[in-house]
A and B are shown apart, each in its own frame.
Chain A
Amino acid sequence: MSPPIDARRLGKRFRRDWALRDCTLTIPEGAIVGLAGPNAAGKSTLLALAAGLLAPSEGAIDVLGHDPLREPSVLAEVGYVAQGAPLYRSFTIEETIEFARRTNSRWDEELVACLPTRIGSRTKVGSLSAGDRARLALGLALGKRPRLVLLDEPFAGLDPLAGREFLQLLMDGVAETAATVVIASHVIADIERVCDHIVLLTGGGVRLEGGVEELLESHRILMGPRRPLGSIRGVTSIVRERYSGRQLTLLVRGDGPILDPSWTVERVGLEELLLAYMAPERMPVPAPPEGLPLRWHG
C-alpha cells in the first residue's frame, strides 16, 4: 500500500524565500505524527502541499499514492483543518454540517454525531467558543471517513480542557477509521500524549524524523565532570553540550550502553529531545572557570 505521505526533495518558495527545501520523508501508514518545529519552520507549508492547496516549487509529494494537484480526487480521503479552524461564521452548526454532507462524496453520519451537542445546532458558527469551533471543524474532517487527517496548529487558542476534548474526539475518530494523522504544533506538550512518530522541521528542512519510542531509546543524557571531549563508547553523535561550573551535560545519540562509570546516564523526555535538536547550533564552549586545572588539548 502507498504511504500516506511520500515527499521527495520537496521544496516551496514564496518569492525569494524558501519556506521548505529538500524535504524527503515518508509517513508510515497508521502513524500519529507530531509535525514539530519553531514558527516559520515550514510546517504549514508542508501540510498545504499535502492538502493540494499549494504547488511544489521543486521536488514532488504523493498523498496516498497520488499527486494531490494532478489527481485531486484523492483529496476525498484527506481531512484537512487549517490553522484557526476557518468555517463560515454566518452558518449555523446545522447548515455547516449540511454543507459538508452535500459537498463530500464520502460521509459518515455516525462520526459527525459526536459533535458539540451541549450547544444548539442552530447556533451560528461565529458565536462558538474556540474549542467548539475546533471540534466542529475536526468533526467535519472526520465525517469524510478520511485515510489521512492533516491538522495545522489545532491547539492554538484552546484552553487545556478544550485541548483535551479535541484530542479525545480526534483519538476516537482514529480508533474508528484507522486514519493516519499529522498534527503540526510548535508546542510539544500538546502532541506528546498521542504521537508515535515525529517529524521535526527547522529552517525549512527535516532535522529529525522517526518513531517516538526509537528516538527516546537511542538518546541519553550524560552528566559528569567537565573534560575534553573525545569519542565516547556507545555514542554516535553529540546533540547538545552544556557546561555549568565543573559539570558537563551532554545529550547524545548512541548505539549501545554507556559503560564509562564517570558518566551518570539518564533517559530524555520527548520535549527536551526536540528542543535540543531545534537549537540552531551547538552551545559555544565557554572558557573554563579560573583555578581549574583543565587541559583541553592533548
Chain B
Amino acid sequence: MIEFHLDPRSGVATYLQIVQQVKEALRLGTISVGDQLPTVREVVADLAINPNTVAKAYRDLEREGLVVARQGRGTFVASTLARATSLPHYEVLRVELEHWLEAADGAGLDEESIRALISATVREMLARRVA
C-alpha cells in the first residue's frame, strides 16, 4: 500500500503531490495493476487534508487511465507506467551516469553543486526541446 507524504514548502499543489507520488510508485514498481490506493478517508485521517483534494487527485489519475474507481470498494491501479528499470538501455545509462558522477566528484563538485548542475541542464534541455 502506498503512503502519501506532503511537502507544504514545495509550492506544488497538494493534489498534484498525490498524483506525482502515485505516478512515481508506478514507475518504480512499488504498486502495480490491481493494487488498491488508500481510501479518501484513510488519506484524510493520515494527512489532515481536504477530502476534495484527494478526490481530485484520484479523478485526475482516473482520467489518465491509471486507476479505476469501483463503487463502494475503492480506487485500484488499472495500468502501469513505463518502468525505467525495464528499458533496454537502463543499465548502460546507469553505469554511464555513475562514471560521470565519479568524474564530477574528482573535479571537486560537492553533492549540492552536482544536483544543481544536473537540474539546470535538464531544465535547459527541456526548454530547448519546447522551443
Interface residue ranges, A against B (CB under 8 Å): 30, 32, 164, 167-168, 171-172, 174-176, 192-196, 213, 267, 269
Complexed CA–CA distance, A193 and B50 (Å): 8
Q: Tell me the complex Cα distance, A93–B53, Å.
A: 33
Interface centre among B11, B14, B45, B51, by most chain A C-beta atoms within 10 angstroms, is: B51
Query: Does A172 lie within 8 Å of B49, measured CB to CB?
Result: no
- Name the CB-closest residue of A to B8: A193
Contact partners of A213 in chain B: CB under 8 A: 13
Compute how far the CA of A168 lies from the CA of B13 in the bound complex, rounded to whole angstroms. Answer: 19
CA distance A139 to B45 in the complex (A): 15
> For the complex, is B83 an interface residue (Cβ under 8 Å from A)?
no
B45 touches A196 (CB 8 A): no
The residue from B8, B11, B13, B48 contacting A171, defined by CB atoms under 8 A apart: B48
B48 touches A32 (CB 8 A): no
Decide if B40 is an interface residue (CB 8 Å cutoff).
yes
Q: In the complex, A31→B66 CA distance in Å?
A: 27
Given the interface pairs A171-B50, A195-B50, A196-B50, the reply to whether A267 lies near B11 with Cβ below 8 Å is yes
Task: Show 22 residue pairs from A and B whose CB-CB distance is below 8 angstroms, ordered by the A residue.
Answer: A32-B50, A32-B52, A168-B44, A168-B45, A168-B48, A171-B44, A171-B45, A171-B49, A171-B50, A172-B41, A172-B45, A174-B44, A175-B40, A175-B41, A175-B44, A175-B51, A176-B41, A193-B8, A193-B48, A194-B48, A194-B50, A195-B50
- Number of B residues near A (Cβ < 8 Å) is 14
Main secondary structure of the interface of A (DSSP, over half): helix
List, in ascending order, chain A residues with CB within 8 A of B11's CB: 267, 269
Establish whether residues B52 and A193, one from each chain, have CB atoms under 8 Å apart when the complex forms. Answer: no
Q: How far is the CA of A32 from the CA of B44 in the complex (A)?
A: 14
**Other-chain contact of B52, A167, A192, A196 (Cβ < 8 Å):** A196
- A190 vs chain B, min Cβ distance (A): 11
Give A193 to B8 CA distance when docked, in angstroms: 8
- In Å, the complex CA distance between A171 and B50 comes to 6
Mask for B110-130, Cβ within 8 A of A = 1, else 0? 000000000000000000000
Q: How far is it, in angstroms, between the C-alpha of A164 and the C-alpha of B45 when the chains are bound?
A: 10
Using A171-B48, A172-B45, A196-B52 as known contacts, list a sample of 6 further A-B pairs with CB atoms less than 8 Å apart, ordered by residue number in A. A164-B48, A168-B44, A174-B51, A176-B41, A193-B14, A193-B49
In whole angstroms, how far apart are the Cα atoms of A174 and B55 in the complex?
12
